[in-house]
Structure 1
């Protein structure tokens, strides 16, 4: 039995390294829960338990709900990022959070990408007052959806940046030191569960995807591959074609990918 457990741990470690690289181990030591003692007593009693796995585990909904409740924001989404730009959306607290998550993916810009590039928090407490930023198209689209403030926090496991927590509010709000500190503690607290959920989704190809848990967006990757084959372009250009068609048609990139995979849509060859 001990040999089987050892073999299972080795396999899990290899899967983790394939997704995230060598920095993330499959069975990290349980991090101290003291930093989250400021979480309100009801949530603390609910989440502070000892599961079979050495990581603190939550369901998809609980992960995002924790941020909404604790930080008193409108919504949240959590994404895990691996090597080679692979991304998995673990959860979104509602349709608007899911739409903001999709916008990052469709536009290739936004606070999440800034965090992945800088490894630091990106804060926009009042979108109406932003005059200089690296993602003007994204922020304009977010305001069009009724979003007035956004905060994106890096999700770390040790020295490895494994994802981003995106928070938003439909009204301007201050991101003071207490807000950032508490958000950072919560992000560290849920990182292990977010990674495990992403790995499970990557391994389980029968996992159902939904608007609130789009997971790996397998149809987008399928559609990208089909465009590479049809047009003889690179993966980067194929994905850019999907993005451009989604933007110009007013559809989400998932919708366009679905049409491509179903062969109901063939993107034109611009070289002809």
Structure 2
């Protein structure tokens, strides 16, 4: 049985991947979250429409995609705040967080496993190109060592992030586009109604929230015209 890798080994692999000019797709087999005392890690990158696109989760079958989609659907949350304002966001106990901070995300998060979160912007040459977010199922602050290691991982990821941005990554990047159908539906709706793409996305989000439907399922129905949003 192969022993689990420690963080220093993972960091060395990230540096080698960067030196080999690889994309984030090279990280698919890595297990980083647990080494940082977290239950899930996600990476979102800014796409050509200026919105965040989920491209990587650790573990793949963990709560990360659900929590990321909640923020994308509702329009607030730690990942969005970190990316929009360019600073690290930490909440040690989501149940005790001021409701005014994320009035839509917090009630929804209480139905999920997440009880603590850290989100940091991914910045390259002064520009925010995405965000790295970690979730934990138990409340409490990260230790100083865990926090330091989280930011070491973030720094090691940056060269791979730069080559993986949706606007520049090629078809060989190996990245999964978790919300590709949502983007397609927003573009379709924008063209159909002659409205800006961000207005089309807002319409999708509003319908999803009002009817308590998955944004991805709604996008599929909109693309196949089983639902009309005009």
Q: Compute the TM-score of the two structures, normalised by the length of structure 1.
A: 0.70
CA distance in 2, matches of 1:105, 1:123: 18
1:85 counterpart residue number: 50
1:143 counterpart residue number: 110
Q: What does 1:1-272 align with in structure 2 at a 5 Å threshold?
A: 40-44=7-11, 46-49=13-16, 53-54=20-21, 59-62=26-29, 65-66=31-32, 68-82=33-47, 84-93=49-58, 94-199=61-166, 202-204=169-171, 213-215=176-178, 217-267=179-229, 269=230
CA gap of 1:44–1:119, structure 2 versus 1, over 3 A, is closer
Secondary structure of 1:136's counterpart equals: coil
- 1:232 Cα offset (Å): 4.1
Residues 73 and 168, structure 1, Cα contact 8 Å, conserved in 2? yes
Q: Which range moves more in the overlay, 256-265 or 132-141? A: 132-141
**Greater RCO structure (CA 8 Å; 6+ sep):** 2
Superposed CA deviations along residues 14-41 of structure 1, whole A, max 9, x for unmatched, are xxxxxxxxxxxxxxxxxxxxxxxxx645
Write 1 or 2 for the structure with the bigger share of helix.
1
Residues 60 and 90, structure 1, Cα contact 8 Å, conserved in 2? no
- 1:96 Cα offset (Å): 1.4
Q: What is the number of equivalent residue pairs in this alignment?
A: 223
Larger radius of gyration: 1
Residues 151 and 168, structure 1, Cα contact 8 Å, conserved in 2? yes
Residues 228 and 235, structure 1, Cα contact 8 Å, conserved in 2? yes
- 1:154 Cα offset (Å): 1.4
CA gap of 1:75–1:263, structure 2 versus 1, over 3 A, is same
Structure 2's unaligned 5+ residue stretches are 1-5
- 1:247 Cα offset (Å): 1.4
Structure 1's unaligned 5+ residue stretches are 1-38
Superposed CA deviations along residues 161-216 of structure 1, whole A, max 9, x for unmatched, are 22101110111021344333221111010122133234488532x9888xxx335x
CA distance in 1, matches of 2:24, 2:189: 38
Residues 149 and 173, structure 1, Cα contact 8 Å, conserved in 2? yes
2:3 counterpart residue number: none
Residues 78 and 194, structure 1, Cα contact 8 Å, conserved in 2? no
